[in-house]
Chain A
Amino acid sequence: SAHHRLARVDIYEKLPVPFGLVRFGVAPDHPEVKNVINTFTQTAHSDRCAYYGNVTIGKDVMVKELQRAYHAVVLSYGAEDNQILGIPGENLSTVYSARAFVGWYNGLPENRDLKPDLSSETAVVLGQGNVALDVARVLLSPLDILRTDITEGSLAAIACSKVKRVWLVGRRGPLQVAFTIKELREMINLPGTRPLLDPADFTGLGDVIKDVPRPRKRLTELMIKSALEKPGEKEAARWASATKEWGLKFQRSPLEVLPAADGKQARGIRMAVTRLEGSGESARAVPTGEVEELECRLILSSIGYRSLPLDSSIPFDPKLGIIPNSLGRVQGAPGLYCSGWVKRGPTGVIITTMNDSFDTAQSVLEDLQMGVLNLSNSKEGFKSVRSILHSRGVHPVTFSDWEKIDAAEVARGKLAGKPREKIVDPQEMLQLISH
């Protein structure tokens, strides 16, 4: 909006509360990452910006109706679903997507009744990205570190958890791990834990990484150091007294989740041992024929998020899981744009998605300047959407309504010594603002 002094932007959100993954995805023990909420809040306070929560596009109002009301519509609804494993046993009761587990501890309403089974010692996380590290860390962290804006219910469940060991299992090798160095360093230094890294996975790796780009090189060097070098005095003492542990298993591709005697829970996972063809980021895991089993009950699948089609009128590529577009302009749909994960796929950190949004905004501004968007037709904006929503019995939540919910959460948190106690029931949120 800073680049076009007359532009008005209205934001529609399905949940009553804003901020998406910054509220529901970022780990509770990473509060600095959530500082970006202050920038968002500043934008929302602009008199040319309005927020309307509790409005489901595709149900309460259709995209075509939005296009009649606005000169431009930007779809940035992200990736609400997860990739499925596609293996037998993945629907056993103690197998969960990491997405649902993260939603559970972060207070996402749809995951509040997850009740994950934390009653056995060994947990397996399939995937080696930052989300995999997040779930491992939340499972193993000392409770005083976790006492943040994590929900009361999940903190209580974790306090009773029997989980002592978490394996992060990847189909490929150490050079293909998707997590980043800050998160890995945090895991290596996690109080009360020790890392289980097989030296055989890292021997000779130092030579291979001599010429790779610095980020991959430093990340690999940190793993090599932790696996092969003798720890310093402090670290050695911590590892010796650790009651919990985590480790990385490489070149294991899940084949089947094995059922327990009751046929409902998992008792283990059968995996194909793989070898790598090619190298670097594009290396492929190929089964060798050898198979291995790992005993465990809790299995968390952390193999990626997935976007869903919003509304049948919008083009969607189910294979890539994105809205077909060129620089954020939806193909074959003038006036329709997309940004973020639904545009590029569900990877990257906040800066990646932020830059991508600036990119889409640039396309919108260009189209405004070049006359691609016909401004001679005046549009009613929220005025017409309001009457549509009213006729359908939908009451949007404004930003100042959110600020009431925010204040209530902070007040409740104070009583518990936490930055906030998240409200996980949307009905309770609506009651609070008297809707």
Chain B
Amino acid sequence: MTVHFINRDGERLTATAKEGESLLEVVVNQNLGIDGFGACEGTLACSTCHLIFEEDVFQKLDTITDEELDMLDLAYGLTDTSRLGCQVCVKKAMDGLTVQVPVEVADMRRELEVENSKIKG
């Protein structure tokens, strides 16, 4: 199956996924160039595999556990359709799925600095 990851710089990374693989496993197995993704190796000890889903896909995902919510609470750029990639497993109905790697606070702040310096001229 095919899954698309929109990286932080906007680049679309397309990967082959096996049914039952977690999205973290897809990133690791397919060697996708997403910096610092999955630092704790899927043990719910960090939030670096944070991904943003489209609303309709998000609603159909398996129920989130307290343990996942606990770590998701520490993620940057948390949205209403955020999940941890290590806890979401690929299903047949998800073929062609597109997920967004969240833009970090640092990246947003850098854009602001660039904008500010432009205004100051």
Contacts and interface: CB of A to CB of B under 8 A. Distances in A.
Contacts of A36: 39-40, 46
B69 A35 contact: no
Interface string B32-54: 01011001110111111000000
A278 interface: no
A7 interface: no
Give chain A's interface residue range (CB within 8 Å of chain B). Answer: 20 to 34
A160 interface: no
Most A CB atoms within 10 A — which of B41, B43, B46? B46
Nearest to A39: B39
B62 interface: no
A215 B76 contact: no
A351 B47 contact: yes
Interface in A313-347: 327
B104 A358 contact: yes
Contact of A180 (B35, B41, B73): B73
A349 B46 CA distance: 8
15 contacts: A32-B44, A33-B46, A35-B43, A36-B40, A180-B74, A181-B70, A215-B73, A218-B73, A351-B36, A351-B46, A351-B47, A351-B74, A354-B36, A355-B106, A358-B104
Interface in B71-121: 71, 73-76, 78, 104-106, 109-110, 113
Nearest to A217: B73
Interface of B: 33, 35-36, 39-41, 43-48, 66-67, 69-71, 73-76, 78, 104-106, 109-110, 113
A434 interface: no
Nearest to B36: A354
Given A214-B78, A356-B106, A358-B106, A327 B113 contact: yes
A87 interface: no
B73 A354 contact: no
A185 interface: yes
What 6 A-B pairs are tightest by C-beta distance, nearest first? Answer: A32-B43, A215-B73, A359-B106, A32-B45, A182-B70, A35-B41
A350 interface: yes
Given A354-B36, A358-B36, A358-B106, A349 B74 contact: yes
Nearest to B113: A327
A72 B43 CA distance: 35
Given A32-B45, A182-B71, A355 B39 contact: no
A358 B101 CA distance: 15
A45 interface: no
Interface in A33-49: 33, 35-36, 38-39
Given A2-B33, A38-B41, A182-B70, A359 B110 contact: yes
A327 B70 CA distance: 29
Contacts of B35: 2, 358
B104 A185 contact: no
Contacts of B109: 327
Nearest to B43: A32
A355 B113 contact: no
Contacts of A218: 69-70, 73
A351 B45 contact: no
Contacts of A355: 36, 76, 104-106
